[in-house]
Amino acid sequence: MNYTLHQLQVFYKITETLSITKAAEELHLTQPAVSIQLKNFQNQFDIPLTEIVGRQIFITDFGKEIAAAAETILNEVYAINYKTQAFKGQLSGRLKISVVSTGKYVIPYYLTDFIKNNKEVELEMDVTNKTKVLKALKNNEIDFALVSILPKDIEVESKIILENKLYLIGNKSVDINPTNDLVAYTPNYPLIYRELGSATRISMENYIDQNGIKSNMKLQLTSNEAVKQSVIAGLGLSIMPLIGLKNELEKGDLKIIPVKKLPIITNWRLIWLKGKKLSPVASAYLKYITDSHEKINEAYFSWITNY
């Protein structure tokens, strides 16, 4: 056998993404290049590593064994590279962060300078739903998670980095009711919900329950972007985090509907497993966040205080 590290990397990425297209995107290669590397790698084995059913690629049991071995080999190669950089006095390693979907409006601003100033640090960031974020945290697959509500079944340590405000949002055609009561809107405007398990959904349902509001859910969507566009289109109202609404509020496509006991206020927190031994990179990042988050907030999020 004469396979290369590059072939191992390509094959392992395919097993992660289950897609030639996605693997090519993440590796910054063309699809034909990935397909050729996969074919050359598979040809060195008498047992199939993958199967194509329809247009979907599946990893065989043998392929999964090879993928696990490839991961081990690649991690050892990474470790050699990191040790080389550390010997030269440079911070190096991988920083793994999982972020709930709305956190995509937040976390980039807390990463940019750290990554720029530590060019040997590799960033792995997954933006996904809350369930997957907490699963990755619980399984110790990541260094940090960014959430707005602390998990109840996982012992964590946390660092507050930014206030999170949730308001009732409507489009520009909604007439403001002087009673400032949500029930005045529900007969004419359906409430648009996020999916079950979403932190935004939990906050919205808690508010509705605590205030004895009866509302039939007619629309449930899986991202804040989808909710936002639906509100702009006039499909209904929703309680949404302010953090992703700056441009739409400034342009007048959306407006805050003043109602009693809003906004809901939580906090964006960087969390990690309690007792976790942080890597040098993770420790350096936590120190960076502790030292810099107020300056970052002033530079990029001072507009939040206007609402």
Rounded Cα–Cα distance for residues 59 and 40 (Å): 16
* Average pLDDT in the chain: 89
Class of domain 5-86: mainly alpha
Nearest to 124 by CA among 142, 104, 149, 150: 142
CA atoms within a 13 Å half-sphere pointing along the CA-CB vector of 276 = 23
Backbone angles phi, psi at 203, to 5 degrees: -65, -40
**pLDDT tens, residue by residue, 245-283:** 999 999 999 999 999 999 999 999 999 999 998 888 898
Whole-number Å distance between alpha carbons of 165 and 267: 8
pLDDT, tens only, 133-148:
999 999 898 999 999 9
pLDDT at 50: 92
**107-123 pLDDT, tens per residue?**
999 999 999 988 888 89
pLDDT score recorded for residue 57: 92
Which residues in the chain are classed under CATH 3.40.190.10?
A: 91-162+268-306, 163-266
In this prediction the pTM is 0.70
The backbone torsions φ and ψ at residue 282, rounded to the nearest 5 degrees and listed phi first, read -65, -40
CATH of domain 163-266: 3.40.190.10
pLDDT 10s digits, 8-49: 889 999 998 999 998 998 888 899 999 999 999 999 999 999
First-last CA distance in the chain: 64
Q: How many CB atoms lie within 10 A of CB 236?
A: 23
What does DSSP say about strands 217-221 and 191-194: parallel, antiparallel, or unpaired? parallel
Half-sphere CA count of 258, side-chain side, radius 13 A: 6
The CATH 1.10.10.10 domain(s) of the chain lie at 5-86
If DSSP codes are grouped into helix, strand and coil, which group holds residue 117? Answer: helix
How many angstroms separate the CA atoms of 139 and 86, rounded?
27
Sign for the CA dihedral angle at 279, 284, 289, 291 comes to positive
Residue 239: CA count within 13 A, CB half-sphere: 27
CB 264, CB 150: distance < 8 Å: no
CATH number of this structure's domain 91-162+268-306: 3.40.190.10
